[in-house]
Amino acid sequence: MESKKGAKLSKIAEKLGLKNWTPDINLEEHEVYIADVNRPALQLNGFYDYFEHGRIQLIGMVEKAYLDKKSDEERKKSIDRFLSHKMPCVIYCRDFQPKDYVIELAYKHNVPILGTDTSTSAFMAELIHMLSYELAPTTTIHGVLVDVYGEGLLITGESGIGKSEAALELVRRGHRLVADDVVEIRRTSKHTLMGTSPAITKYLIELRGIGIIDVKSLYGVECVKENQKIDLVIKLADWKGDAEYDRLGLEEETMDILGNSVTCHSLPIRPGRNLAVICETAAVNHRQKKMGYNAAQELYRRVQENIKTGGHYGDE
């Protein structure tokens, strides 16, 4: 189910290590809904046409230098009008300290004033990157996400079919678990889906007959990962003798996740099949295709050449 919500200002402040110049304003009550930010040089000069007051506002060297040239009365009037637009917050960069009248006006309009010692441009890039992740369209999928040779494998299928067991075997073979049971997926760009685990189940796997195991504690921190780009979907399904399965791989099946198409393989399950080895092979084969080599197309090319030359299978 896709969800869209704002990012808590308290979380942003904590992750970026921001100083709160207005501690009596509860940051939990303020949320950000726009990933872009704004530098209000024009607004401080009185130009408010097309002003995006829903963005976080940054005060840098240019804004501070402009305000310093104004008289005290002009500065107060400019800041008062600026803060009246109810933006999520104002962040002072380069370790600049807001004047006392700015703090007073911030309390008046209930606008948090935060600070960082980072340069404006560097901080802006970091903030936009974080907001783009936090505000990305989000959905949850029942499945398992594992990093296999750097490829993000999302393993799906009905409950009890063996997703967690396959993930555990992959971990034992040196790969890294990202999420089990529930995978939170964010579309961070037109071509990128990032998966992570809900905090409550992070690094935990449920194994029927055994219970809950902590992969991080049992196998070490090198066997888990915070998040992972999703590159390939493996759909597990019960083997059906009368069903037709792709044996060549010339045509790729895809799965739509948040509007992005992800390559998908349907994998029939029957006794004796080693799921971990098959998943590893699928990951390596997918990487090889991205590098420009497709084994199915190579076989097709060889067959076509064989037909043209009148050869037979098995000819040297």
pLDDT category of residue 191 using cuts at 50, 70 and 90 = confident
Give me the residue label for tokens 């370790």: 95
Antiparallel, parallel or unpaired: β 260-269 and 253-257: antiparallel
Closest by Cα among 266, 261, 227, 232 to 246 = 266
The amino acid occupying position 153 is L
Q: What span, in angstroms and rounded, lies between the C-alpha atoms of 177 and 209?
A: 20
Q: Indicate which residue of 190, 191, 247, 312 is catalytic.
A: 247
Which residue is catalytic, options 142, 173, 290, 302?
142
Options 163, 186, 187, 265, the catalytic residue:
163
Q: Considering the chain, what is the average pLDDT of its residues?
A: 89
Distance CA 197, CA 203 (A): 8
* Total-model pTM: 0.75
241-263 tens-digit pLDDT: 666 666 666 677 889 999 899 99
Read off the pLDDT of residues 92-132 as tens digits, 9 standing for 90 and up.
999 999 999 999 999 999 999 999 999 999 999 999 999 99
Is 247 among the residues known to form the active site?
yes
What are the angstrom distances between the C-alpha of 126 and each of 107, 131, 135, 211? 27, 9, 14, 40
Burial pattern 42-77, b for ≥16 Cβ within 10 A else e, equals: ebbeeeeeebebebbbbbbeebeeebeeeeeeebbe
Residues in Cβ contact with 249 at an 8 Å cutoff, skipping those fewer than 6 apart: 294, 295, 296
* Residue 270: active-site member: no
Q: Residue ranges of the alpha helices (H) in the chain?
A: 9-16, 41-44, 61-68, 72-83, 100-109, 120-134, 163-172, 215-219, 275-290, 295-309
- Structural domains of the chain, with CATH: 7-134 (3.40.1390.20), 138-292 (3.40.50.300)
Residue 60 — very low, low, confident or very high, per pLDDT cuts 50/70/90? very high
Sign of the torsion formed by the C-alpha atoms of 119, 121, 126 and 132: positive
Q: Does the annotation count 163 as an active-site position?
A: yes
